[in-house]
Amino acid sequence: MKKVLSLMRKAIEDFNMIQERDKIAVGLSGGKDSLTLLTALVNYQKFSPQKFELIAITIDQTNGKTNFSPLINHCNELGIKLDIVKTEIFDVIFNKRKEKNPCSLCAKMRRGSLNSRAKELGCNKVALAHHSDDLIETFFLSLFYEGRLSTFSPVTYLSNVDITVIRPMLYINENIIKQTSKNLPVIENICPANHLTKREDIKEIMKKFEENFPNAKKQVLNAITHPERYNLFDKKIINKK
């Protein structure tokens, strides 16, 4: 947890993620990433120079059929309120629509439910558990499947719901999270598409990269998070000259 807190603090300070009197909703899915995020933020809150409030929100995709008691108990131990939002996302995607590529729609529906509930609870920010591997994988997903140089931002303001999304674990790699989350009450992922997605393909590609280039992930992360290193041409500027 010490390493997680150190890297989280750096990301929060680098991107000015948290301000005085923020009320932050932490998206708690029950996976290792979100549990690590919540636990780390509760610990960070103790020494943060800014005073802020935390609440955990879990989106129940099975409309009450999932046992969230491990999350409830963990939040009670942390002294954090857990708000569980019942939805029919699982039924809509896999039974009614029978989506062959469910990830995009599922993520959109879960984010919509999370942001709406956060706003109802008076939160001005939502914290998501994306880590450095997620950042890199999203970059390559956009590159290979969309032909774009793009990934998510550390801080994103959503004007439609007046919520700011922050990603405090941006500098933390997945291996550190795996080690940190060993004693956390991780809930099994019920998604039928788990480990069968395009993101998993990118994970395999990154493994092969690192066999030949041991610092590949670190170098890609540095390139993405340091705009002063960008050196791509702009056709509009060239044509003007």
CATH of the domain at 129: 3.40.50.620
Query: What are φ and ψ of residue 175, in 5° steps?
Result: -65, -40
pLDDT at residue number 192: 64
Q: What is the 3-state secondary structure of the chain?
A: CHHHHHHHHHHHHHCCCCCCCCEEEEECCCCHHHHHHHHHHHHHHHHCCCCCEEEEEEEECCCCCCCCHHHHHHHHHHCCCEEEEECCHHHHHHHHCCCCCCHHHHHHHHHHHHHHHHHHCCCCEEECCCCHHHHHHHHHHHHHHHCCCCCCCCEEEECCCCEEEECCCCCCCHHHHHHHHHHCCCCCCCCCCCCCCHHHHHHHHHHHHHHHCCCHHHHHHHHHHCHHHCCCCCHHHHHHC
The count of domains in the chain is 1
The number of C-alpha atoms within 13 Å of 137 and in the hemisphere containing its C-beta is: 19
The pair of structure tokens assigned to 2 is 């010490």
pLDDT at residue number 235: 79
Q: Compute the distance between CA of residue 211 and CA of residue 189 in angstroms, rounded to an integer.
A: 29
Which pTM does this prediction carry? 0.90
pLDDT at residue number 241: 64
- The sign of the torsion formed by the CA atoms of 10, 11, 12, 14 equals positive
In the predicted model, what is the mean pLDDT of the chain?
91
Q: 236: pLDDT confidence band, cut at 50, 70 and 90?
A: confident
Contacts of residue 2, defined as CB under 8 A and 6 or more positions apart, other chains included, come to none
pLDDT tens, residue by residue, 128-171 = 999 999 999 999 999 999 999 999 999 999 999 999 999 999 99
Look up the domain containing 42 and give its range.
2-240
In the predicted model, what is the mean pLDDT of residues 53-76? 92
Q: Compute the distance between CA of residue 22 and CA of residue 52 in angstroms, rounded to an integer.
A: 5
How does strand 163-166 pair with strand 155-158? Answer: antiparallel
Q: 196: pLDDT confidence band, cut at 50, 70 and 90?
A: low
